[in-house]
Amino acid sequence: MTDNLLHKNTTYMAEIAKCYKRVLSDKLGSTGKDLFDCVISGGTFVPSFKDMGDGIIVGRFNYEAVFMFEALPAAKLDPRILMASTATWLLENDIERQGLKLPPPKIDVDAYSSDGTPVSDLEITLTFSEPITMKETTAEMGDVPYNGKWWGIAPYIIHVAEETRVIGHGA
């Protein structure tokens, strides 16, 4: 895993889209990305509050991301490569997925022949739940007033102790 996406100013949808575009470029060349599109289908915002020290979580945005691949030439790109890429990306990047009990990816495949060449249309639907995180900032830079301070939508850093030392009298 590279960096934890929870601590970057990005979305899961945008990051997995980069993964798909890389696969399409690798297998189909520079025009492969033209066979791809993605949208958010619905969503809910669940307000909550959690002080994380260097920032706060003000809620979660739950949504479905729909990734559409059209007329994929089967001889160059087996749809199972995109399915496997989805599974490995989720395992490496959506670390809260299992704890949040999000549903597995939904995949629809239409395979057909175009001029005797096998092609596939593929749609992958993923449910994501992303925290909305804020950090305290100045009034000039802030977007959201809360509790007498200004906050901006931004990731925060969780500082993890790497070593510890117990000081005290032993028994």
- Per-residue model confidence as pLDDT tens digits over 114-161: 788 899 999 999 999 999 999 999 888 989 999 999 999 988 766 566
Total domains present in the chain: 1
Residue 37 lies in a domain: yes
Task: Answer yes or no: are the C-beta atoms of 106 and 29 closer than 8 Å.
Answer: no
Residue 47 lies in a domain: yes
Residue 170 lies in a domain: no
The length of the chain, given as a count of residues:
171
Q: The domain containing residue 73 runs over which residues?
A: 5-153
Residue 159 lies in a domain: no
Residue 164 lies in a domain: no
pTM of the model: 0.81
Type and span of the H or E element at 89: helix 79-93
pLDDT confidence of residue 18 = 96
The chain-wide mean pLDDT, for the chain, equals: 89
Task: Single out the residue of 119, 89, 125 nearest to residue 107, CA to CA.
Answer: 125
